[in-house]
Amino acid sequence: MTVSLQAYLDNLEEETYELMVGTGESNALSYGFTQKRAVHPGVSGQMIPPPMAPQKWVELMEQEPDMSKKRIVYIHIPFCSHICLYCGFFQNFINEDREQRYVERLLKELEMAKGDKMLQAKPMQCVFFGGGTPSALSPTNITKVLQKLKECIPLTNDCEITMEARIYDLQKERIEAWFANGVNRVSIGVQSFDTKIRQASGRLDTKETVMERLKLISSYDQASIIVDIIFGLPGQTLESFMEDLACIDSLPISGMDLYQLNLFGGSPMAKAIQKGSLPPAATRAEQAVMFAAAEKWLNDRGYKRLSNCHWAKDIRERSMYNILAKTGADVFPFGCGAGGFVGQYSTMQMRDLEKYIAMIDEGKKPIMVMSGKSPYDEVHKKISQNMEQGYLDLRGITAENPELVQLEYILNIWLKNGLMRKGEVMYFQTQAGRFWQNNLTQSLLECCEYILSQGKVKEAKPMQGMSA
């Protein structure tokens, strides 16, 4: 039996159709879809029963690796000194005792990896310290972790080692500990340079301090320095956002990441707006104007777009983790709350700090969730990789799955609606398509799954709790 994608889409209820296909509004940049969506790679494979997951990891690590795949280490530091109002990643407040206990177990987890055949078979192209706030670790503790990393994990000579950091932690002792032990990329969460906007969002330092600290870390000339900016924050205008870009451009940094504010209903920021203690965040249409203005500004100044959100100012910035993690690389996880994807399995490590510590003390890989590969994983990765780079190679997608030619139906709708344009061979996102890229990608994944599964799909959903 061959299913019809056209019939499926044409028979959707209006609300679901607009969520999945789009509105057809003439102003596609601002109103191409009714709501933003998150990208999820479809139905997962079979779940491994949690009690069996640590042993399954041991068995996985005894297998021969796929030597053609790139490899990444992700290390999670689940601590922050305070909660930023827009953030959905907070786990634990940091204190000296908690940090020390955690670092001792993280070192042990890295040590355990020495016996992993699959992990040791080929060096890693990049290492990413995420969180949380990795930069909150003391100079002594981060030195221990970085040295243990190099002792236990094979790394390429040009391995990109990224430290996520906050402005407050850009102090001489910490910076020198990072650089002395191999960190060569620092991603700094500025979000805005405007003092009032920063402090209203839970970022404590003033614009003057931010500029001073960024100049300090750049003066070492030891790493690619990347600045994260969010557009759409409460109180932020197009003018203040463009001033943020000008501030970045005036600094000796290597690139920037531009992220759209996604405001979730239960977040501290959403609650503060509802209470009237914060001004409203930018509407989706106002965010679209900011997005378009930023694109033009960056293109006019010669910045190179590496992916949808990531821009390079000079050749030092590679953004390897962000690119490789979305293109099918093996991601080996370490730390409380770390996620990974190795071989045929996706994993999530224990998010509860005490449970993580207990499992490490038992000599077990602290796996919380482990599931097998989705039957549609390979084609989902190809689609996601293409779309992250701004295009879709339908001819390449259909080479192994000819039935996916049916995707032309939804692509042609997007051509008509101004979300895509067609080249000689490939489809390319327009500026509106780049703004709604997650929506386009997720809809393609769902259409792909509908076709390949002969009609077995889950209901299309927006980002849960997010305001339009």
- At residue 156, φ and ψ (nearest 5 deg) are -70, 160
Is residue 465 predicted with pLDDT exceeding 50?
no
- CB neighbourhood size of 419 (10 A): 27
CB 63 within 8 A of CB 122: no
Pairwise CA distance, residues 29 & 285, whole Å: 8
Pairwise CA distance, residues 349 & 333, whole Å: 8
Q: What is the pLDDT of residues 138-180, one digit of tens each?
A: 999 999 999 999 999 999 999 999 999 999 999 999 999 999 9
Q: Report residue 467's pLDDT band, with 50, 70 and 90 as the boundaries.
A: very low
Q: What is the pLDDT of residues 219-232, one digit of tens each?
A: 999 999 999 999 99
Q: What confidence score (pLDDT) does residue 282 get?
A: 94
For residue 182, what are its two tokens? 């191999």
Is residue 266 predicted with pLDDT exceeding 80?
no
- CB neighbourhood size of 94 (10 A): 20
Rounded alpha-carbon distances, angstroms, from residue 204 to 77, 81, 96, 172: 21, 11, 21, 19
Picking from 34, 33, 42, the residue whose alpha carbon sits closest to that of residue 440 is 33
Pairwise CA distance, residues 325 & 254, whole Å: 21
Answer yes or no: same fold for 5-35+376-452 and 50-324: no
CATH class of the structural domain 50-324: alpha beta
Picking from 354, 184, 300, the residue whose alpha carbon sits closest to that of residue 311 is 300
CB 147 within 8 A of CB 139: no
Pairwise CA distance, residues 35 & 39, whole Å: 13
Picking from 235, 157, 163, the residue whose alpha carbon sits closest to that of residue 195 is 235
For the chain, helix, strand, coil in percent to 5 are 45, 20, 35
Pairwise CA distance, residues 322 & 310, whole Å: 9
For residue 82, what are its two tokens? 């305070």
Of the ranges 78-82, 200-204, 370-374, 425-429, the best mean pLDDT one: 425-429
Is residue 458 predicted with pLDDT exceeding 80?
no
Is residue 44 predicted with pLDDT exceeding 80?
no
Domains of the chain, by residue range, sit at 5-35+376-452, 50-324
Q: What percent of the chain has pLDDT over 90?
A: 80
Residue reference for tokens 């850009």: 170
Mean pLDDT of 91-109: 90
CB 330 within 8 A of CB 343: yes
Can you count the helices (H) and strands (E) in the chain?
20, 17
- At residue 444, φ and ψ (nearest 5 deg) are -60, -40
Q: What confidence score (pLDDT) does residue 87 get?
A: 58
This prediction's pTM:
0.92
Pairwise CA distance, residues 325 & 71, whole Å: 9
Burial class (CB within 10 angstroms; exposed 0-12, middle 13-18, buried 19+) of 370: buried
Burial class (CB within 10 angstroms; exposed 0-12, middle 13-18, buried 19+) of 239: exposed
Q: What is the pLDDT of residues 191-249, one digit of tens each?
A: 999 999 988 887 778 999 999 999 999 999 999 999 999 999 999 999 999 999 999 99
Angle between helical axes of 284-300 and 238-249 (0-180°, round to 10):
30
Rounded alpha-carbon distances, angstroms, from residue 305 to 14, 252, 260: 35, 18, 16
How far from each other are the two terminal CA atoms of the chain, in whole angstroms? Answer: 39
Residue reference for tokens 């989706």: 284
* Region 5-35+376-452: CATH code: 1.10.10.920
Pairwise CA distance, residues 70 & 278, whole Å: 44
Name the pairing type of β-strands 367-372 and 345-349.
Answer: antiparallel
Mean pLDDT of 265-289: 89
Q: What confidence score (pLDDT) does residue 452 get?
A: 93
User: Is the bond into 132 cis (omega within 30 degrees of 0)?
Assistant: yes
CB 448 within 8 A of CB 1: no
